[in-house]
Structure 1
C-alpha cells in the first residue's frame, strides 16, 4: 500500500527551494516516491497556527517504511541541509495516510 503525506510549508526563497526539489527528486524516486498535487497558496483563510503556509503539496512513497528510510537517507539529509533549511521557515504535516 502506498503512503502519502499532505504537507504545508512556509517557503521564504523560491529559487533555493526549487534547487532543493531538483536535488532531492532522484533520491525520492529511489524510494518509490514522487509528488502528487502541488499548490502555491495566495491566501490562508483559517490558519491553525504558525507557520504562514504558502505552499501545499502531497508527497508519496511506495510504503511507510520507504518514507521513513527516505527521511533518514544520508544523501537526502545533505540536500536538506544545503537547500531546504535556508529556504523554508516552517513545515506542517496536515495528514499522513495509506492509499491503494
Structure 2
C-alpha cells in the first residue's frame, strides 16, 4: 500500500515555484515519493475553499509515515521556506488516502 496527497495551490510566481520543484525533487525521490499527476488549471468550477487555485497535483509516497518524514525533513523545510513560501499564495489539501 502506498499513500497519496492531493493538493491545490495558487502559484503567483511560476519561476520561483519551478525553483522550489527543482530543489525539492531530489529530496522527494530520496523518500521514494514522486508526482503522479500535475495540472495547471485555468478555471475552477467548484471548490470548498475561497482561495484561488491554478495548480492541482498528486504526490505519491510508499506510506503515510514516509510522507510525514518527508514533510518534516530539515532539508525540505529549508527549500520550502526559500522557494515555496515566496511563490505560492495558498495551498489546500484536497485529500489524503491509501493507494494500491
State TM-score, norm by structure 2: 0.97
2:36 maps to 36
**CA-based RMSD:** 0.7
2:50 maps to 50
Gap regions ≥5 residues in structure 2: none
- 1:47 offset after TM fit, Å? 2.8
1: CA distance, partners of 2:95 / 2:47: 16
1:5 maps to 5
The alignment covers a number of residue pairs equal to: 100
- 1:51 offset after TM fit, Å? 1.4
2: CA distance, partners of 1:38 / 1:30: 20
- 1:92 offset after TM fit, Å? 0.6
